[in-house]
Chains A and B, each alone.
Chain A
Amino acid sequence: MKNSRCNPADLAAWQMQITPANLHLRAHLLARIRAFFSHKNVTEVEVPVLSHSGVTDPYLDNFVTQLTLGQSTTSLYLQTSPEYAMKRMLASGSGCIYYLGKAFRHEDAGRQHNPEFTMLEWYRIDFDDRALMQEVDALLMDVLDVLSAEYLSYHAAFLYYIGLDINTATHDELIAALAMDFHYDIQQASRDHVLQLLFNIHIEPKIGQERPCFIFDFPASQAALAKITAADPRYAHRFEVYFKGLELANGYWELTDAVEQSRRFAADNAVREAIGVEQVAPDSRLIAALEHGLPECAGVALGVDRLFMLAQNLNSIEDTLTFPLPKA
């Protein structure tokens, strides 16, 4: 663990958490990221952090604030990612773009989480998920000084680490493979929840220990905003990147179909209703942008604070931040 202080626990509440040495290294990391995209003629863009629309993903929660002017009150949502705004820019003719800035998630802080964090998100026109994975790999080699990544399909990861075929395993077989005790009724849980638990607990700690690991071809049921694979509709063009136990990035060959996008927003809200969380109005401006025409593209979001944890071998996201939530 690199730390110039003898004992970080001695820090006063007013003091910045990150060490002065790491503060400079972090600035250097951001500069290297910008140089990487500058060489590729990808344009840095800013997006509104406050937007009129929130996110429908059932397991993401926006911070919401109110703009009150006289008698009228408007709800504004702090963005969980710049995705919707960037897609509207792409449909407006922006060309290839990246965002390096803040995103917000209304959730607990933890060793790997801060509700306010720095995200790198970029979109490449005419890339598919395979091409974008290679670019993410190149970026990681550049900024982390690591070997080229390994690539494993979601299906292969389950076969290899759990011994089950996700396409044929029964719900009971998946639950038995968890080998865990639950406080809630796991029998009633969705198949995707069980798959995610298996992944988090039995696969994630084992992959990407020496070099980053790409997991690709996620099940279509976890497509999020990715295209479904035309040749095999059981899978979606979605990938994630793991390195040393950290989930680092999530990318898609982007869905461009406005009708399918509306259907997924509605499906998200149906899940929200089923699990008892408030529904969120779909972003009509994103739908309008897709109707106008989103260029064929692939996009990925990467957690920069986690990237810095890996670059400097830091144990907690707090040590990458000037003032993590408890001190903010």
Chain B
Amino acid sequence: MANFSTNEFKAGLKVMLDGEPCNILENEYVKPGKGQAFNRVKIRKLISGKVLEKTFRSGESVEGADVMDTELSYLYNDGEFWHFMNNESFEQFAADEKALGDTVKWLVENDLFTITLWNGTPIVVTPQNFVDLEITETDPGLKGDTAGTGGKPATLVTGAVVRVPLFIQTGEVIKVDTRSGEYVSRASK
């Protein structure tokens, strides 16, 4: 993998730090009139998800990370690994519990997920921003209350629990924002 110097750092560049692939979020070049230049770099560690700030000497280089995002559809869980497939090449990838993280609560067979591969191995599984899921259980709402002031908890087919307006009933399909875990609307169909 190529090396990257601090003056090539920009948001989205993937580099290796402390043996872990990282995504650069921000890079600020600082050069005092008299004195050594340095770069303040904000990075996200891709495996742990931790965001941290590191100071580099300007001109220092680091190794690039062989990291790529790919769209795969979810197949099944074998008890230990979650299996995904590229719908065009039919290539399959197995993600472990660590890579899956919280995404486990949005898994529906045949749905597309963004899988981040590091040296060909899944390290992060990200759901689509919006998913349509069926409600398997929620308390019947109070009749006449359509404003949905407080809302109520609803369990989805994947096991996720989201707050929904009072008028939403068991068996309905709703649209959820996976980034916030919040109800958006009834699904369009």
Residues of A within 8 A of B (CB): 57, 59, 107-108, 110-111, 113, 180-184, 192-193, 196-197, 199-201, 222, 224, 240, 247, 250
**For the complex, is B68 an interface residue (Cβ under 8 Å from A)?**
no
CA of A2 to CA of B41, assembled, Å = 29
CB of B7 within 8 A of chain A? yes
Return the chain A residue nearest B33 by Cβ. A250
B3 to chain A, nearest CB (A): 13
10 CB < 8 A contacts A-B: A59-B31, A59-B34, A108-B58, A110-B31, A180-B53, A180-B55, A181-B54, A182-B54, A199-B32, A247-B33
Residues of B within 8 A of A184 (CB): 56-57, 60
Interface residues of B (CB under 8 A from A): 7, 17, 28-38, 40-41, 52-58, 60, 62
Q: How far is the CB of B34 from chain A (nearest CB, A)?
A: 6
CB proximity of B176 to chain A, nearest CB, Å: 33
How far apart sit A258 and B52, CA to CA, in the bound complex (Å)? 48
Majority secondary structure of chain A interface residues (helix, strand, loop or mixed): mixed
B31 contacts A108, C-beta separation under 8 Å: yes
* Cα separation A52 to B119 with both chains bound (whole Å): 51
Closest 3 CB pairs of A and B: A196-B35, A110-B29, A183-B56
Chain B nearest CB from A242 CB (Å) reads: 11
Quick one: which of B7, B28, B32, B60 has the most chain A CB within 10 A? B32
Q: Which B residue's beta carbon lies closest to that of A301?
A: B33
A192 B35 Cβ-Cβ under 8 A: yes
Measured between beta carbons, the chain A residues less than 8 angstroms from B52 are 181
A107 in contact with B53 given A183-B17, A183-B60, A184-B60 (CB within 8 Å): no
CB-defined contacts of B56 to chain A, threshold 8 Å: 182-184
Q: How far is the CA of A224 from the CA of B32 in the complex (A)?
A: 13
Q: Which residues does chain B contribute within 8 Å of A224, judged by CB atoms?
A: 34
Q: Which residue of B lies closest to A250 (CB)?
A: B33
Determine whether the beta carbon of B55 is less than 8 Å from that of A59: no
Q: Is the pair A183, B31 in contact by a Cβ cutoff of 8 Å?
A: no
Most buried by A among B33, B38, B53: B33
Give, as a whole number of angstroms, the nearest-CB distance from A165 to chain B.
21
Contact B34 A57 (CB under 8 A): yes
**Candidates A110, A181, A183, A196; contact of B32 at CB < 8 Å:** A196
Q: How far apart sit A133 and B125, CA to CA, in the bound complex (Å)?
A: 59
Contacting residues, chain A, for B34 (C-beta < 8 A): 57, 59, 222, 224, 250
Residues of chain A within 8 A of B41, CB atoms compared: 183
15 other A-B residue contacts (CB within 8 Å) besides A59-B36, A183-B60: A57-B34, A59-B31, A59-B37, A107-B37, A108-B58, A110-B28, A110-B31, A182-B54, A182-B55, A184-B60, A192-B35, A196-B35, A196-B36, A201-B40, A224-B34
